[in-house]
Amino acid sequence: MIIAETIAQVREVIAGVRASGKTIGCVPTMGGLHEGHLSLLRRCRAECDFAVVTIFVNPTQFGPGEDLESYPRTFEADRAACEEIGVDLIFAPSVKEMYGEENLSWVNVEKISSHLCGASRPHFFRGVCTVVAKLFNIVTPDIAYFGQKDAQQLAVIRRMAADLNFFVEIRSCPTVREADGLALSSRNQYLDADQRRQAVCLSRALERARQLVASGETNPGAVIAAMKEIIARESQGRIDYISIVDNELLQPVARIDRPVLIALAVHLGTARLIDNITAAPAKK
């Protein structure tokens, strides 16, 4: 397994891989790898000839007062996990390597990024899109893998790749959950034991929403109210948002008469947890 810290190193390796006609897969991460990440790595390894993992805690997607400094950095454990899966290349650049002395060019995807997480974290998707665009240009993957847990990020990146004509296929992978339903996240480690117990209310609220939609509820307000009741009853969480949106542009729907994405973000202690679920009305 190759560990590269510079763009030049990656490009040299990728040139050789390209010359041999191999397909290249890429899993962009910020490290702190957990089973959710590893499921992406395994799929990449299974479907591509050459598997690349990027590990970079991207400062431009963090806002003032967010957890940039405390974000999990576990490179040695991440390296060992990648090696066990059979990853071919880890790209782990410094901030200076990725952004130079001053970065003046940014990538924005409008509309899709303005709602949900984009409303409370307006800086977030500009940082995500810019760093992912850079990684696509450096690694030039044939396929890139992202988790459905970050559904808005997935939609934004997919649209960016299409609008800017990146020669890459974006593949989504299912959310990986704990046995009790909590979606895996690097930020789960911020939870103490009581908060961890409470956090299950997110997936319980989402499952209740799916049941309501499947049973014929078409009023988004009624579904959201039922979700809020579960979160209030079972936790001390502070809701950032709960929203029911269409699956393409992620805009709020007035009526649930087609498949939708139901997404939420909840603060528990110092952790901001996100999750989502797809739901569809019963066929008539």
How confident is the model over 98-138, as pLDDT tens digits?
999 999 999 999 999 999 999 999 999 999 999 999 999 99
The CATH number of 2-173, from 3.50.50.60, 3.40.50.620, 3.40.50.300, 3.40.50.970, is: 3.40.50.620
CA distance 107 to 227: 34
Q: What is the pLDDT of residue 284?
A: 65
- Tell me the chain's radius of gyration from C-alpha atoms: 19
How confident is the model over 68-93, as pLDDT tens digits?
998 999 999 999 999 999 999 999 99
CATH code of 186-277, in short, is 3.30.1300.10
Catalytic residue from among 34, 37, 115, 123? 37
The residues, ordered by sequence, that sit 6+ positions from 10 with a Cβ below 8 Å of its Cβ are: 4, 52, 89, 91, 138, 139
- Taking the whole predicted model, whether its pTM rises above 0.85 is answered as yes
34 is catalytic: no
Give the residue extent of every domain in the chain. 2-173, 186-277
